[in-house]
């Protein structure tokens, strides 16, 4: 019998499952993710599975929320973005200054117009100078040129320069997105470049473990649209794995629940991801999925990803009161279970005057060679100090202020993570979770409550009480969950734009108890009468029963739902799409925008035939390179025509899409 191994690496946990040929769960394991060395956590998960069955694995499939989390948190490896033919307004619209800061963005002369004609010559001298200046300071380069989807020659030339002068990974905008919209294409290329190091580290870790376990099956990676690609393709375009974990969880929730029409809610340590599924298929977003504050041009499952998870920091905002997320921190209950000495520090903080550094410890998060090479002497000393374990920020601020400043810098760089009071801690205080140290959770809740009362004048909880503030945090989490479920419903109903305020209002009306208002209220509101909410992920069982009760919806917590992401990695096929645009720039000229530049034809039929042939050839090649066995080709045609009384029907533009899909090639020969 052949078996199938699914792995999901999240911000907090790494899950592994074994499925049999009927795609039924045979064994599963959940272990902490070890960001400093991913292979440790993955190895511990694999070690908890039946070892005698691993030798019979025919395929390994992997998903991860690491790229999603880095986008939500605005962190990633340092990159240099080379923008060709962009102006200041396009730069501002791209969001790159907010994503990267002023450093790492270089503007170059060049670019093309909408017809693919060169507007200005490429400034190769400036490109060379920038590449040489940044090659030792960044992990990758991103290149985006004006109208590169109509003529990519400037991007391709700068890509050659990066390869020859720096030898670093490089992301080109025209390879990642086919739509117009230079600012968003630049953002997509930059995010892709920032993720290359993370995805490469993850894949290298898994491949090393598979080699040591003598598992010779192909390794597939889940993309954001739920389809699969092999490891090589994923490392070239890691941006496609944004929302990989959420997409896998949607696949897993459908498979484990048996429902074909449902609302999937996946709650992890860092994010909550919600998707509406009908007839067994989630809707795809071809205009780019929203991830935190960013909207890259990525074809992905249409879902709503927010910075709310079990490890989200509970903080205070003068206008909003209790705020949860989007920053991820280490729960004090988890920290104390790993480092028991933290308990004494928490006891000491509880007896001292409240301050912002209480509940705050720093520890190493990840190892990034490029960032570490450019640390100052103080920052390097702080990094070395963390080798011995977490550092108490309050103590550092009092005794070694340089250390506190250096740790703050390392945290902003993403090398260090802080601890804090979280929904996971609140769940431990209330007995909803017992995974880690309940004493530390109680101390953290009391410390946090004292700070809220004495620093901000917020809260009227009894002195020394941990349960009352924990209940308030829990209720806040429930309200946010309910509002986001309603917001997903509004988007599913076609309401675009910022509907967050409306969703909050509607969810409060739906959640209002019948006896809490005048019986003659004109409102009688219901949510998702015909769709169950299938909640998966580690924290789901702690929070979703109350959220479902508040909204009055059916709730399903499926068996093995805590490892739904890992299960979902094994339900998908390889899918590659190639889009080619055909335009009529002037009467009687039909221009096909190929990967090597525009090609003109005298007839529409000839132009469409060329577009179909080129798209099919490229899609099939990409599908085979991505690991598909005997891909099949389908075509889609979208046309823009206008009819008037004088000229009749006039063709303006068409988009030809070739879709190549097929099941992954498996290691099945010896199991036949």
3-state secondary structure of 648: strand
3-state secondary structure of 435: coil
pLDDT at 182 over 70: yes
> pTM score, two decimals?
0.81
Do the beta carbons of residue 289 and residue 295 sit within 8 Å? yes
Q: Are strands 533-536 and 555-556 parallel, antiparallel or unpaired?
A: parallel
Q: What is the mean pLDDT of residues 249-265?
A: 93
Q: What is the mean pLDDT of residues 420-444?
A: 94
Q: Provide the pLDDT for residue 667.
A: 62
Which residues, other chains included, contact 108 with Cβ-Cβ below 8 Å and sequence gap of 6+? 82, 83, 84, 85, 122, 123, 126, 127, 130, 158
Do the beta carbons of residue 223 and residue 62 sit within 8 Å? no
Q: Provide the pLDDT for residue 517.
A: 46
Task: Give the bridge partners for 644, in sequence order.
Answer: 648
Q: Provide the pLDDT for residue 514.
A: 46
Q: Are strands 262-267 and 272-278 parallel, antiparallel or unpaired?
A: antiparallel
Dist. CA 87–CA 107, nearest whole Å: 8
Do the beta carbons of residue 291 and residue 68 sit within 8 Å? yes
Q: What is the mean pLDDT of residues 581-599?
A: 89
Dihedral, CA atoms, 670, 233, 210, 365, nearest 10 degrees?
-160
**Residue that is written with structure tokens 């459908």 in the block:** 254
Dist. CA 242–CA 450, nearest whole Å: 39
Please indicate whether residue 639 or residue 100 has the higher confidence score (pLDDT): 639
Q: Provide the pLDDT for residue 246.
A: 84
Dist. CA 66–CA 327, nearest whole Å: 14
pLDDT at 591 over 60: yes
Q: What is the mean pLDDT of residues 222-240?
A: 87
State the DSSP code for 279. T
Question: What's the token pair of residue 290?
Answer: 């929203």
Q: What is the mean pLDDT of residues 62-83?
A: 78
Q: Provide the pLDDT for residue 656.
A: 94
pLDDT single digits (tens) 539-558: 888 899 998 988 888 999 99
Least confident of 124-128, 169-173, 358-362, 500-504: 500-504
3-state secondary structure of 163: helix
φ, ψ (nearest 5 deg) of residue 80: -115, 130
Q: Provide the pLDDT for residue 523.
A: 66
**All domains of the chain in start order, with CATH:** 76-194 (3.40.50), 321-473 (no CATH), 574-671 (3.30.110)
Q: What is the mean pLDDT of residues 80-89?
A: 92
Q: What is the mean pLDDT of residues 73-86?
A: 83
pLDDT at 483 over 50: yes
Task: Give the bridge partners for 230, in sequence order.
Answer: 220
Q: Provide the pLDDT for residue 668.
A: 46
The enclosing H or E element of 327 equals strand 321-328
Q: Provide the pLDDT for residue 522.
A: 66
The enclosing H or E element of 284 equals strand 284-285
Helix 342-351 / helix 438-456 crossing angle, nearest 10 deg: 30
Dist. CA 255–CA 227, nearest whole Å: 15
Q: What is the mean pLDDT of residues 138-144?
A: 92
Dist. CA 561–CA 274, nearest whole Å: 15
pLDDT single digits (tens) 17-47: 999 999 899 999 999 888 888 899 999 999 9
pLDDT at 178 over 90: no
Percent share of the chain, pLDDT over 70: 93
Q: Provide the pLDDT for residue 414.
A: 84
pLDDT single digits (tens) 297-327: 777 888 877 778 889 999 888 777 888 888 8
Question: What's the token pair of residue 92?
Answer: 């501002």
Which residues, other chains included, contact 543 with Cβ-Cβ below 8 Å and sequence gap of 6+? 267, 423, 427, 432, 474, 477, 478, 481
Q: What is the mean pLDDT of residues 258-269?
A: 91
Question: What's the token pair of residue 131?
Answer: 């590449």
Q: What is the mean pLDDT of residues 446-456?
A: 91
Dist. CA 531–CA 550, nearest whole Å: 16
Least confident of 30-34, 390-394, 423-427: 30-34
pLDDT at 666 over 80: no
The enclosing H or E element of 32 equals strand 25-32
Phi-psi region of 457 (alpha: psi -120 to 50; beta: other; left: phi over 0): left
Q: Where are the alpha helices (DSSP H) in 527-602?
A: 540-551, 564-568
Percent share of the chain, pLDDT over 90: 49
pLDDT range class, residue 289, cuts 50, 70, 90: low
pLDDT range class, residue 570, cuts 50, 70, 90: very high
Q: What is the mean pLDDT of residues 139-157?
A: 91
Do the beta carbons of residue 12 and residue 555 sit within 8 Å? no
pLDDT range class, residue 515, cuts 50, 70, 90: very low
Q: Quote helix, strand, coil % in the chain, to nearest 5.
A: 40, 25, 35
Q: Provide the pLDDT for residue 72.
A: 61
Q: What is the mean pLDDT of residues 597-617?
A: 93
Dist. CA 344–CA 346, nearest whole Å: 5
Q: Provide the pLDDT for residue 97.
A: 85
Least confident of 175-189, 197-211, 454-468, 593-607: 175-189
State the DSSP code for 561. G
Q: Provide the pLDDT for residue 283.
A: 80
HSE value, Cβ hemisphere, 13 Å, CA-based, for 603: 3
Dist. CA 635–CA 477, nearest whole Å: 45
């Amino acid at each position: 019998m052949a078996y199938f191994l699914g792995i999901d690496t999240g911000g907090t946990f790494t899950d592994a499952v074994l499925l049999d040929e009927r795609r039924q769960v045979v064994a599963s394991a959940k272990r902490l993710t070890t960001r400093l060395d991913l292979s440790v956590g993955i190895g511990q998960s694999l070690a908890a599975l039946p070892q005698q069955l691993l030798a019979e694995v025919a395929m390994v499939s992997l998903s991860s929320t690491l790229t999603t989390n880095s986008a939500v948190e605005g962190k990633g490896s340092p990159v240099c973005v080379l923008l060709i033919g962009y102006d200041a307004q396009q730069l501002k619209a791209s969001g790159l200054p907010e994503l990267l800061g002023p450093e790492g963005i270089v503007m170059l002369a060049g670019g093309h117009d909408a017809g693919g004609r060169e507007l200005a010559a490429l400034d190769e001298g400036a490109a060379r100078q920038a590449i040489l200046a940044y090659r030792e300071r960044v992990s990758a380069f991103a290149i985006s040129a004006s109208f590169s989807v109509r003529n990519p020659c400037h991007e391709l030339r700068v890509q050659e320069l990066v390869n020859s002068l720096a030898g670093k990974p490089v992301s080109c905008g025209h390879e990642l997105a086919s739509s117009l919209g230079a600012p968003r294409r630049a953002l997509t290329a930059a995010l892709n470049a920032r993720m290359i190091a993370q995805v490469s580290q993850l894949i290298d870790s898994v491949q090393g473990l598979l080699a040591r376990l003598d598992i010779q099956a192909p390794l597939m990676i889940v993309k954001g649209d739920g389809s699969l690609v092999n490891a090589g393709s994923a490392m070239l375009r890691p941006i496609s794995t944004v929302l990989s974990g959420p997409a896998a969880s949607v696949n897993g929730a459908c498979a484990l629940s048996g429902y074909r029409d449902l609302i999937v809610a996946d709650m992890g340590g860092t994010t909550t991801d919600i998707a509406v599924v009908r007839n067994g298929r989630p809707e795809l977003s071809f205009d780019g999925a929203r991830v935190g504050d960013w909207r890259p041009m990525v074809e992905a499952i249409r879902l709503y990803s927010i910075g709310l998870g079990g490890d989200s920091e509970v903080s205070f905002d003068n206008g909003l009161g209790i705020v949860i997320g989007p920053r991820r921190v280490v729960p004090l209950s988890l920290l104390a279970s790993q480092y028991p000495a933290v308990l004494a520090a928490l006891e000491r903080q509880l007896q001292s005057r409240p301050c912002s550094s209480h509940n705050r410890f720093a520890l190493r998060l990840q190892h990034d060679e490029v960032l570490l090479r450019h640390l100052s002497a103080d920052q390097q000393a702080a990094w070395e100090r963390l080798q011995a374990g977490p550092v108490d920020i309050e103590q550092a601020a009092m005794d070694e202020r340089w250390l506190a400043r250096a740790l703050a810098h390392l945290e902003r760089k993403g090398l260090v993570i802080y601890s804090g009071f979280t929904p996971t801690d609140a769940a431990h205080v209330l007995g909803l979770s017992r995974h880690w140290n309940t004493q530390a959770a109680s101390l953290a809740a009391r410390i946090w409550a004292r700070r809220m009362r004495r620093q901000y004048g917020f809260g009227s909880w009894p002195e020394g009480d941990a349960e009352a503030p924990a209940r308030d945090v829990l209720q806040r989490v429930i309200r946010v969950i309910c509002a986001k479920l309603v917001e997903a419903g509004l988007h599913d109903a076609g309401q675009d734009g910022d509907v967050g305020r409306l969703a909050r209002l509607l969810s409060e009306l739906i959640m209002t108890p019948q006896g809490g208002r005048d019986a003659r209220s004109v409102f009688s509101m219901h949510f998702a009468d015909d769709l169950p909410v299938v909640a998966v992920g580690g924290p789901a069982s702690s929070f979703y029963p109350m959220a479902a009760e508040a909204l009055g919806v059916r709730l399903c917590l499926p068996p093995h739902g805590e490892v739904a992401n890992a299960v979902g990695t094994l339900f998908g096929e390889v899918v590659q799409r190639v889009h080619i645009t055909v335009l009529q720039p002037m009467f009687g000229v039909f221009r096909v925008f190929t990967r090597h530049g525009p090609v003109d034809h005298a007839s529409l039929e000839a132009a469409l035939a060329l577009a179909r042939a080129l798209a099919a050839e490229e899609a099939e090649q990409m599908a085979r390179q991505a690991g598909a066995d005997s891909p099949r080709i389908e075509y889609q045609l979208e046309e823009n025509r206008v009819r008037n009384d004088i000229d009749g029907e006039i063709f303006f533009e068409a988009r030809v899409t070739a879709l190549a899909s097929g099941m992954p090639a498996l290691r099945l020969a010896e199991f036949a």
